Amino acid sequence: MSLTNPNIPEDVRAVAANGTQLRYKLMELTAQYPDAIALGRGDPDLATPPHIIQATESAIRQQRTGLAPVAGLPELRQAVAQKLRSDNGLPADTENVIITTGGQEALFLIMQVLLDPGDEVLVPDPRYTSYDEAIDSAGGKIVLVPTDHADAFNLRPEAVEAAITPRTKAILLITPSNPTSGIVTEERLREIAAIAVRHNLVVISDEIYEKFVYSPWKHFSIGSLPNMAERTITLNGFSKSYAMTGFRVGYVSAPRNFIEAMAKVKAVTTGPAATISQWAAHAAVTGPQDAIADFHRIYSERRQLMMDGLHKMHLDFSEPRGAFFLWTNSSPTGIHATELSYLLLKEGRVLIFPGTGFGENWGGYLRISILQSTDLLQEALTRMEPIIARYRATA
């Protein structure tokens, strides 16, 4: 499906082939419409739990604001290691953890330390395209591994193995997935782990959405499997689970020598994550976890509302097994997803990212987030319906 509409602004066309730039351009255009409903970014709209806010205020009042060690506050690293042991089954200790300025920095640091020029990383398609830039910045090469709608975008071990070449260095997993909200099931993770051991590959496991998996599906960490701790780099953070995107705290768990190498790069680039944010993260991981269950219930209700609304518009979507998104097949409208996203914004005042924001092969898909109240989600569906119906009728 090609981009043909002459009414698409030139500045949108100019970035249409770059997923990350396309997403930011559409957000920039959204600022022109004060009444727009944003169903684009994956930023939780719910309030940060009160005990985290209180811990942040307390750290400020007590002047615990000095510069933290580059790898992070020891108290936070220890707490994260404990969380990884109890929740994920990872054999992590304090020395296996580094605290980063959000997950975005984490993925760039990982690639800088892991890759030599020409190394290949197997990346599921569609994907979060910030990985494209991170791999490219380290001189690496992306090798796309296809996934498909009929399989709920679960990663197939046979497709992973078929993509391996002598230059393959690592396998990237994002589970639950951004953008598809699919998961890699435990059975397949076990098979992929066996492939990684057989071919002596590193596994990068992005688990930032781990707390939001919908029944009957469950999250499983590949690093907990035998022979995998020494070859698994686990990326996670606090932004999604605790609605703390603005605090900018992520973390990586990996073998000690890899963490030490990351800290050396971090020391000469960004330095330590903000101390106040780290104390907030410490309160999050060590304090009450009730808010996560509350968030899960809210997201489940919104997910069902959006699924019902899309069904009403006769739009199909892959089963959203986790995260905050519905990866929706927009091809029945007969127009490219970038055009449809622009028209939904201009005519309907609804921001939705096109599938091409997550890979060049996805011009027939939209990624719709559920990070608005049920009232706003319903209003967005109401605005979308006549536009979708009009293009479906002429397709």
Q: What is the pLDDT of residues 91-141, one digit of tens each?
A: 999 999 999 999 999 999 999 999 999 999 999 999 999 999 999 999 999
Task: Classify 176 in phi/psi space as left (phi over 0), alpha (psi -120 to 50) or beta.
Answer: beta
Same fold, 10-47+291-390 and 66-286: no
User: Shortest CA distance to 323 belongs to which of 384, 377, 286, 367?
Assistant: 367
Q: Read off the pLDDT band of 42 (50, 70, 90).
A: confident
- Residue owning tokens 């104390």: 279
Mean pLDDT of 290-314: 97
Q: What is the pLDDT of residues 327-351, one digit of tens each?
A: 999 999 999 998 899 899 999 999 9
pTM for this entry: 0.94
Helix locations, 89-200, DSSP H = 102-114, 130-137, 157-162, 186-199
Question: For the residues 61-84, what does the mean pLDDT come to?
Answer: 97
| Size (the chain), residues | 395
- What's the pLDDT score for residue 392? 83
For the stretch 216-243, what's the b/e string if a residue is b when 16 or more beta carbons lie within 10 angstroms of its beta carbon?
ebebbbbbbbeebbebbbbbbbbbbbbb
CATH 3.40.50.2000 fits 66-286, yes or no: no
Q: Concatenated DSSP letters for 350-389? A: EE-EEGGGG-TT-TTEEEEE--S-HHHHHHHHHHHHHHHH
Whether CATH 3.90.1150.10 fits 10-47+291-390: yes
Domain ranges (residues) in the chain: 10-47+291-390, 66-286
Segment 184-233, tens digit of pLDDT = 999 999 999 999 999 999 999 999 999 999 999 999 999 999 999 999 99
**Portion of the chain with pLDDT greater than 90, in percent:** 88
Are 250 and 106 within 8 A, CB to CB? Answer: yes
Amino acid at 340: L
